Amino acid sequence: MIREVETRIVIRGGIVPPAGEGATVVLEGRRVAAVVPGRTVEGRPGDWDVDADGRLVVAGLVDAHAHLAVGAILRAAGLPGRPPPTMADLRVSVRADVERRATPERVAPLVRAAALAALRAGVTTAFDLAAGGAAAGDVLEATAGAVEAIGLRAVLALGARGPQAAAELAASAAFAARRAGHPSVRGMVGIAGLADLSDDALEAAAAAGGRAGVHASVGEDESDLAHAFARWGKRPLDVLAARGLLGPRGIVAHAGTTSHAEGVALAEAGATLAVTPRASTYYGAPLAPIALLAASGVRVALGTGGLFPDVAGEALAAATFLRNAERTAVAAPGLLGRVAWPAAARLASEWFDAPLGRLEPGALADVVVLDWRPTVSLPALPDGDLALLWAGAPAAWVIVDGVVRIREGRLLGADEAELAAKAREAAGAVRG
């Protein structure tokens, strides 16, 4: 009887922190089998040998807060340099119309293009807060189909808001139940702000979120803070905490108005704060006091808000922001490498029941070969700190769940020009 030989992916000759130069990474099935200094791993029949050729090899990155379908459209909306004065105005003047026109047929090509951009930036896992609307369930399924087609690992939720919030919450909860245990796409419940969410919807979100987890975008700027005080006499995160919407499987995105007391509540709940430094700066919104919150034990992770695809760029922006704010190059030491980077990896690992964001035996096989060859010896620092050096480097190879998705800069299995053309057509229809 002939036994079928399982194909391994063997990445040789790369720089793999901390294994060093010329290290070999072996992937078997869906897992990392070994990380070995040097090229000492013997080949087997059927191996897929990848020549890293002196380039940096890292674990796939995690985007803790994305808007895959509409991120690029929102970025374009701010191009003239005259965005709406508050985030509440942005939601009314731009997002509302965009979300209304974001039908499943238009969402799918936009998500495919955004998923490809994420992979090219080395991101292999994204926590996406999608636009809802009347066809809420269909939007989620369209988003899931699109990320699966490109190969991005994702946890999806609809950002519930307005009169359709109950339907969106129900759709998210049903999707999460269907996708429980899925190897690459799972679901959670979402909230797109507190401004137009009824008390009944908040109670429904708490009930569903206890099982599925909650991804809440709140407290983006002072207009959100003023609304929460006027309506409940509480700060935004205090509203979430009082209603049981903070928990260890939860994500709170933006939260630029967060106080120390709210940070304590976040830490006690074990929720993850997803900050988006470049998106916040782009719209003139405040960035949460991440150094203070991290010192209080908050799990701070980096997201992109969908405006920019690369998480490493967010790390560089966060470091730059803190150094400028404190007027010193030694601001918040360890925040990126020892707090934000591990927090994102831990979040993804908890959602997919296996190690992610780490290049070690037993971890899920999400691996990136960056098209970047260091010209100086890399310091012995955690990956999050090293990201400040390689931010902006594109991915040459991307492997997700043991499957090669990008090979020497080219997406496998799809026509990239066609993907882009269909995304432009969909974007035009959504923008109106």
Q: Which CATH number is 20's domain given?
A: 2.30.40.10
**317 falls within a domain:** yes
Q: Which sign does the torsion angle of CA 282, 287, 291, 295 carry?
A: negative
Q: Where is 32: in which H helix or E strand? A: strand 31-36
Q: Are residues 161 and 258 in the same domain?
A: yes
Statement to judge: residues 231 and 274 lie in one domain: yes
Q: How many of the other CB atoms lie within 10 Å of CB of 404?
A: 17
Return d(Cα 345, Cα 357) in angstroms, integer: 4
Q: Using an 8 Å Cβ cutoff, are 56 and 15 in contact? A: yes
Tokens of 57: 């090899």
Does the residue 2 lie in any domain? no
Asked if residue 417 belongs to a domain, the reply is no
DSSP letter at 6 equals: P
* pLDDT value at residue 99: 74
Same domain, 104 and 197: yes
> At residue 68, what are phi and psi to the nearest 5 degrees?
-60, -45
> What pLDDT shows up at residue 140?
95
Residue range(s) defining the domain that contains residue 380: 8-60+363-411
* The pLDDT of residue 2: 37
Last residue of a domain, one of 322, 350, 378: 350
Q: Based on the domain organization, do 54 and 134 belong to the same domain? A: no
Residues 55 and 67 in one domain: no
One-letter identity of residue 39: R
* Residue 328 DSSP one-character state: S
Distance CA 304, CA 290 (A): 15
Integer angstrom CA distances of residue 391 from 13, 121, 342: 21, 9, 17
- Report how far residue 381's alpha carbon sits from residue 221's, in angstroms, rounded to the nearest whole number: 34
- Which among 87, 109, 105 is positioned nearest to 96, based on CA atoms? 87
Backbone dihedral region for residue 321 (phi beyond 0: left; psi -120 to 50: alpha; all else: beta) = alpha
Q: How many domains does the chain have?
A: 2
pLDDT at position 28, please?
A: 96
Tokens representing 399 are: 């492997």
Q: Is 429 a member of any domain? A: no
Find residue 127's DSSP bridge partners: 155
- Rounded CA-CA distance 310/140 in Å is 23
Q: What is the pLDDT of residues 286-340, one digit of tens each?
A: 999 999 999 999 999 999 999 999 999 999 999 999 999 888 888 888 899 999 9
- So what's the pLDDT on residue 4? 43
Distance separating alpha carbons of residues 421 and 366, to the nearest angstrom: 28
Residue 356 placed within a domain: no
Backbone angles phi, psi at 224, to 5 degrees: -70, -40
The residue ranges of the chain whose pLDDT is under 50 are: 1-5
Q: Do 105 and 227 have their domain in common?
A: yes
For 41, the token pair is: 């791993």
C-beta of residue 127 within 8 angstroms of C-beta of residue 154: yes
Looking at every residue in the chain, the average pLDDT score rounds to: 91
CA-atom Rg of the chain in angstroms: 21
How buried is residue 368: exposed, middle or buried, by Cβ count under 10 Å (0-12/13-18/19+)? Answer: buried
In a shared domain, residues 71 and 27: no
Phi, psi of 16, rounded to the nearest 5 degrees? -125, 95
